Amino acid sequence: MNAPRRRLPWLLPGGPPEAFPPPETALLDPPGLLAAGGDLSPQRLEAAYRRGIFPWYSDGEPILWWSPDPREVLFPEEFRRTRSLAKRERNGGFEVRFDSDFAGVIAGCAAPRAHEQGTWITDGLREAYIELHRLGLARSVETWREGRLVGGLYGVQLGAGFCGESMFSLEPDASKVALSALVRRCLERGIAFIDCQARTAHLRSLGSRPLPRAEFLRLLAVHCAPGLPSRWRDSD
């Protein structure tokens, strides 16, 4: 006889922002689904990321919270910067900027893509991350050419960790150039890891690797605990 399916915990909107179930209780099917409901307040999102949890859902669904096992992580010192990418950075005519057009980056990431139907970046998510950016917790890395935004990425930066959310590219290698610039900033400023959430062939080719969830949670506890100063630094 099959075991009864466990009921998914439901979070109350406006409830205590840290009231998540332990990540270890996430479902195996679908892998990593931890809870539903709640809200997208800055306090809730910050509490989620510090616990290795992130929102991912589509229009028409409740807010869904995830903590997959294993967790895909890119350690900056393991980034694979190919000769062709290094050449594109030198000679491709790109300009890299940080945090100059966060709203433009998230709009680019939310735009429909040829191989996908719809987008998981709902209007509610977009507004929530723009508010996180206003508060200094969400960051963007942007690739520009001739005054036009042609690629970039965004994520949540806490302490010495960067939790990547999405990237986009309107020209070949534009998102790779942004990721390469993020890696350089991480190495320069002591940001220990880039959370990639789930495996993709693209990220794996650039050096990401899977970590058991328990090991990833230990990384968070060391590098992203409340009270640790941000390593991003806005002053320069």
Residue by residue, DSSP assigns 39-99 as ---HHHHHHHHHTT-EE---TTSPPEEE--SSEEEE-GGG----HHHHHHHHHS--EEEES
**According to the model, what pLDDT value does residue 120 have?**
80
Spatial neighbors of 21 by CB under 8 A, at least 6 apart, are: 9, 34, 35
**According to the model, what pLDDT value does residue 1 have?**
43
**According to the model, what pLDDT value does residue 203 have?**
94
Q: For 105-134, what is each residue's pLDDT tens digit?
A: 999 999 976 565 546 899 999 999 999 999
The percent of residues in the chain predicted with pLDDT above 90, rounded, is 90
CB 158 within 8 A of CB 46: yes
- Kindly calculate the radius of gyration of the chain based on its CA atoms and give it in whole angstroms: 18
* CA–CA gap between residue 209 and residue 165 (Å, rounded): 16
Closest CA to 118 of 61, 175, 80, 63: 61
Counting as low any pLDDT under 70, the low residues of the chain are 1-5, 113-119, 234-236
Cβ neighbours around 162 below 10 Å, total: 29
**According to the model, what pLDDT value does residue 35 have?**
98
* Domain ranges across the chain: 12-68, 72-223
Closest CA to 183 of 89, 117, 114: 89
The CATH architecture of the domain made up of 12-68 is 2-Layer Sandwich (3.30)
**What is the CATH code for 72-223?**
3.40.630.70
